[in-house]
Amino acid sequence: MNEADLPPNVKALYLKARSAVQTNNYGYAIKLLQSILKDAPTFLVGRQALRHCEHLHTGGPKKTAKVFGFKTGGVGLMKVASQVKKDPAASLVMIEEELEKDPYNPEANDLLFEAFNAMGLPDSAAFALETVRKGHPEESKLLHKLAEFYLHREDPAKAAEVYRDIIKHHPTDSVAIKGEKDCTARASMQKGGWSETASMADLARNKGEAAELDAAGKTGLTRDQLEDRRDRLILKYNEDPNQLPIVKDLASIFEQLEDWSNSHTFYSWGFSLSNGDVALQTKAGHMKDKMEEQQLKDLEARAASNPDDPEVQAMLAERKSSRVAEMVEEAKARVDANPTDPTLRYQLGQAYFNAGDYSNAIPHLQQAKRNPHIQSKVLLLLGRTFKEKGMLDMAAKQLADALGDLVGMDNVKKEVLYEKGLIHEQMGDKQGALDAFKQIYEVDYGYRDVAQRVESSYGG
């Protein structure tokens, strides 16, 4: 029931209640709203207003009373529980009498949920448990009940939010951890239009086609083929979201489609299903980085299109700043999970460098040199780090070491030579700088400004 549906006499009372709220006369507003709800028990907006007034009148959530570790609900609530089973509609007034004293009372709100659920009023039922979530988020039993309720209503996004709140207060709750990841994945599919009911009608094919597709290679497919395979796998995922091979396959396909958000979701879920597969965890981290990079690029494009909009420019500046800090924390978490991986050490060193924390970057980059496949990149960044600290001689040495491992004049070698030239120039070693720039000039005339630097040394 909406305000427009209220009978004239009840609507007049509601207007009085609103006026009472505006003058901070919450006690009077509570009495009016209780009277309104007796006549219009399905008026959810009125019940929400009542709860708001009770919050202001009572001072907010109260600590749950316990005796020897057990909650004390009182004889009154026991009688109400019996009434809920007999006549849920009639029990509403009794429950509201209890909530007037403590609007966040978990037991009373649970009874309100049961009453509304029995009456077939899901929005009002959800409001009852959402009140507990707001006032007593540590009540994991009732929050689990709310999450399951949202799942039954095919609202995995809201269920995931509830599970996240449970994890904040109970970080080792394995059911909530699994539920949050599963619901997040389901919400992503729902958002993409891959709901179970719709996809069955639109995407089902004969078994022969499905088997043929499953046998096909997972790389070298066209975009249409990838999307077709994605849709078929989603059907299988909906049947059982705990099949690790299907979850990994979906994650890979989303990655090939450059759908970084869904790829991150499925790699993360795959890691949860596996026995701590570090490769899946690393992939999930990479996909999250890709997702963040894409969001930043989109914001940069928006800022470029709106150069005179201070709000957009401020959003971009804030996002860049927060992203640098996030990358440090994410890279630290990956190193903590796998401290012997030199590549992760390099990524953490790079994150510290980008954040301007050069002293913390150095030890991680030094450890990253253990991997010969990335050693040249590590030495280049290490050289830049020493340069930023004003240690130019040590910076030049790192770059010289990097050149010792580079044979062909590829982009990495050009970058190392150019950086080395800049450092020699900063040290006042003009000849050393020119020697580095000349090596690039000999093979790539158009590289940055090396032509101008080399030719100007000849007076050209």
pTM of this structure: 0.49
229 vs 269: CA distance, rounded Å? 19
Tell me, yes or no, whether 78 and 151 share the same domain: yes
User: What's residue 193's pLDDT?
Assistant: 60
Domain boundary among 305, 323, 343: 305
Contacts of 56 (CB under 8 A, 6+ apart): 26
Residue span of the structural domain in which 228 resides: 192-305
Domain at 173, CATH number: 1.25.40.10
Which of 171, 188, 205 delimits the end of a domain? 188
Count: domains in the chain:
2
Residue 294 and residue 210 share a domain: yes
Task: Please check whether residue 207 lies inside any domain of the structure.
Answer: yes
Residue 446 is assigned to a structural domain of this protein: no
For residue 76, what pLDDT is reported? 61
Contact 374, 355 (CB under 8 A): no
Helices (H), ranges, 306-429 = 310-337, 342-354, 358-368, 375-388, 392-404, 411-427
Distance of alpha carbon 382 from alpha carbon 436, whole angstroms? 18
What residues form DSSP beta bridges with 71? 66
Banded model confidence at residue 319, pLDDT cuts 50, 70, 90? confident
Same domain, 43 and 183: yes
Neighbours of 120 (CB within 10 A): 9
Q: What is the largest CA-CA distance in the chain?
A: 101
Same domain, 7 and 141: yes
435 found inside a domain: no
Nearest 5 degrees, angle CA 29-CA 33-CA 38?
155
The reply to whether 102 falls in a domain is: yes
Tell me the helix, strand and coil percentages in the chain, rounded to 5.
75, 0, 25
Q: Which band of pLDDT confidence, cut at 50, 70 and 90, is reported for residue 307? A: confident
400, part of any domain: no
Q: What is the mean pLDDT of residues 188-200?
A: 57
Rounded CA separation 88/36 (Å) = 18
| 165 and 281 co-located in one domain | no
Query: Tens of pLDDT along 82-93?
Result: 888 889 998 999
Q: What DSSP assignment string belongs to 255-270?
A: HHTT-HHHHHHHHHHH
Encode pLDDT of 118-172 as tens digits.
899 999 999 999 999 999 999 999 999 999 999 888 888 899 999 999 988 888 8
Answer yes or no: is pLDDT of 214 > 50. Answer: no
Q: Are residues 196 and 122 in the same domain?
A: no
210 and 276 assigned to the same domain: yes
Q: Are residues 179 and 228 in the same domain?
A: no
**Residues 176 and 264 grouped into a single domain:** no
Does 212 share its domain with 162?
no
Residues in the chain: 460
Task: Give tens-digit pLDDT for 37-57.
Answer: 998 999 999 999 999 999 988
CA distances from 339 to 331, 335, 343, 344, 345 (A): 11, 5, 10, 8, 8
| 202 and 292 within one domain | yes
Cβ atoms of 324 and 355 within 8 Å: the answer is: yes
Q: Is residue 264 part of a domain?
A: yes
C-alpha span between 300 and 304 (Å, rounded):
6
375 is a domain residue = no
pLDDT tier for residue 75 given thresholds of 50, 70 and 90: very low
Calculate mean pLDDT across residues 271-295. 84
Two tokens, residue 359? 């002293």
Could you tell me if 144 and 277 lie in one domain? no
Q: How do residues 375-412 score in pLDDT, each as one tens digit?
A: 889 999 999 999 999 999 999 999 999 988 787 888 88
- Domain closes at, from 127, 156, 188: 188
Q: Give per-residue pLDDT as tens, 416-443.
A: 999 999 999 999 999 999 999 999 999 9
Q: Indicate whether 14 belongs to any domain.
A: yes
From CA 458, how far away is CA 370, in angstroms rounded?
A: 42
